[in-house]
Amino acid sequence: MRRFDSIDSTNRWLLDEARTGAPEGLVAVADHQTDGRGRRERTWTAPPGSSLLVSVLLRPVIDAASMHVLTMATALALRAAIADATGVTAGIKWPNDLVVGDRKLAGVLTEADVAANGEVLAVVIGVGCNVQWGDFPPELADHATACNLECGHLVDRAVILDAFLDQLGVILDDLGSVLDAYRSASATLGREVRVDLGTRWVEGFADDVDERGQLRITRDDGEREVVAVGDVVHLR
């Protein structure tokens, strides 16, 4: 495990290490990230020491289209770790967020080193989890939460980290169970949603996830649609 007081991005560092031959299972942890990223190149900003910021290097035999399943596995592992450490039960908002109610507690970012022929050479899964926060800034106050705010006491990031890595190992050894576990933990399935696809919006009922982790929606016009990438808004 490599620990950093501050780094631009643990995901970036591990991807660079992967390209020089670093082994599966290498872990990077930081107290602070200066260029933390989320999906669609969004920034992840947190005060030093407030969040669990960790990335793990994997070398799975998997195609790029199935990486959603690794994101799901990671979210399930983090969810279980948080529950063990704090008693807080989070839901998983498709595709990569942990939420309490509709407030974001954590996010997962999965990135890959892919060869020109499409072969996945390495996958880095990164986690950012709000652990020990005071007041959130105004722009986040209505949309974010933290482990300490939900459980009402101090939370040790190291305890969640150890539990997360243990849980991740167990789940990755049994990827066949991920979809059913994800369905049970989902905060999105069974709800009316609006999905931003970048060029258009889709509204409808979130029915299920398929074997690749894509979201199945029955649109308001009755047609079915499968969404591979998009931002979900829970409507009710």
C-alpha to C-alpha distance for 178 and 69, rounded to whole angstroms: 7
On the question of a common fold for 2-185 and 192-234, the answer reads: no
Predicted confidence (pLDDT) per residue in 83-99, tens digit: 999 999 999 999 889 99
Predicted confidence (pLDDT) per residue in 22-59, tens digit: 999 999 999 998 876 654 455 656 777 789 999 999 99
pLDDT of residue 36: 64
The class that CATH gives domain 192-234 is mainly beta
C-alpha to C-alpha distance for 160 and 129, rounded to whole angstroms: 10
| Pairing label, strands 27-30, 2-4 | parallel
Predicted confidence (pLDDT) per residue in 187-234, tens digit: 999 999 999 988 888 999 999 999 889 999 999 889 999 998 888 999
Residue corresponding to tokens 């982790």? 213
Query: pTM score, two decimals?
Result: 0.91
**Whose CA is closest to 88, among 71, 73, 105, 63?**
105
pLDDT of residue 200: 87
pLDDT of residue 45: 67
Fold of 2-185: BirA Bifunctional Protein; domain 2 (3.30.930)
Q: Map out the domains of the chain as residue ranges.
A: 2-185, 192-234
Running DSSP on this structure, what letter comes out for residue 8?
S
C-alpha to C-alpha distance for 146 and 99, rounded to whole angstroms: 10
3-class DSSP assignment, residue 129? strand
Contact 46, 36 (CB under 8 A): yes
Tokens standing for 232? Answer: 């979900």
